[in-house]
Amino acid sequence: MRKSYSFEGKGLHTGKVAGMVINPAPADTGILFRRTDVSRDLYIEAFAEYVSSTDRSTTLTKEGVSVVTVEHLLSALTGMGIDNAIIDLDNIEVPILDGSGKPYIDAIWKDGIVSQDAPRKYIELDREITVRSEKTGSLITVTPSDKPSFDVNIDFNSKVLGLQSAHWDMSVDYASEIGICRTFVFFHEIEYLFKNNLIKGGDVENAIVIVEYPVSREQLEHMSRLFNVPMLERCENGYLNNLQLRFSNECARHKLLDLMGDFRLVGGFLKASVKAVRPGHTINTNAAKEIRKVLNTDKL
């Protein structure tokens, strides 16, 4: 990066306003987080072993200091090919902004990326790794490859979403095809999430809302009051009218965005083919942890 970039906004889950600065860093620094409201001397490396929670987002914790919802930022940095950065945050959660990686891309991309005087050290595997969850039916397969790629298939048993897939490899423009895709939530989940102290910073500007089941006028009025916006409506395609979809499969593309962000926790750029069925933060980060274990074992 050519300079530092500043952002400010609410955290999706905590609702706490945070100021964040993404700073350039020397070669071989990797991605480091620093909670400036706690200590300017403690750096939290973007490593899978520091994952402490995957409840609707990915949280990193080191020495009792946490950074919440790191995945969108990590995905954007990865998609833009940024190897090294120090991220200063003055509160616990990374701002949700518009629910995608677009604000980071818009700010950084226009200035261009600076090449550093060191080759990129790709992370390579010598064996296939498979991680599955019997509970969710999720499956991730990581296969050694000469070129990195990610494939996602999602199935929420939803008539609105249907079966969706998304793909990224180096021929796909991350900035315009993946990075701009926003997070999503089902209408019937929103009240539950609020009651369980999640999505306190959610609003109708940073999430696609899927209305899977018929809803009454009273429910829509209640949701409008909850978000303090004009009257919301269910569109014919089953989505709330708060946002216009950027792609018909934007939800799958966002899951791909999440996957790429969580997989940055392997410690760098992974040179492998990653295929994910029903991915989520838990299985994503479990796969990243498994890769870290294999790499550390191979060093012995």
Residue 276 bridge partners (DSSP): 140, 152
The angle, 0 to 180 degrees and rounded to 10, between the axes of the packed helices 102-109 and 71-79 is 40
CB < 8 Å & 24+ apart, contacts of 193-200: 193/56, 194/226, 197/13, 198/13, 198/55, 198/56, 199/12, 199/13, 199/56, 200/10, 200/11, 200/12, 200/13, 200/14, 200/15
Instruction: Tell me how far apart the alpha carbons of residues 8 and 96 are, in angstroms, rounded to a whole number.
Output: 9
Marked catalytic residue, from 13, 72, 254, 281? 281
Contact by Cβ (8 Å): 263, 149: no
Nearest to 145 by CA among 18, 241, 274: 274
Q: Is 281 a catalytic residue?
A: yes
Residue whose C-alpha is closest to residue 125's, from 277, 273, 281: 273
Nearest to 194 by CA among 9, 57, 15, 8: 15
β-strands 208-210, 184-186 pairing: parallel
The C-alpha atoms of residue 128 and residue 4 are separated, in whole angstroms, by: 38
**Cβ contact 269:123 at 8 Å:** yes
280: DSSP letter: -
Rounded-to-integer distance, Cα 149 and Cα 271, Å: 8
Catalytic residue numbers? Answer: 281
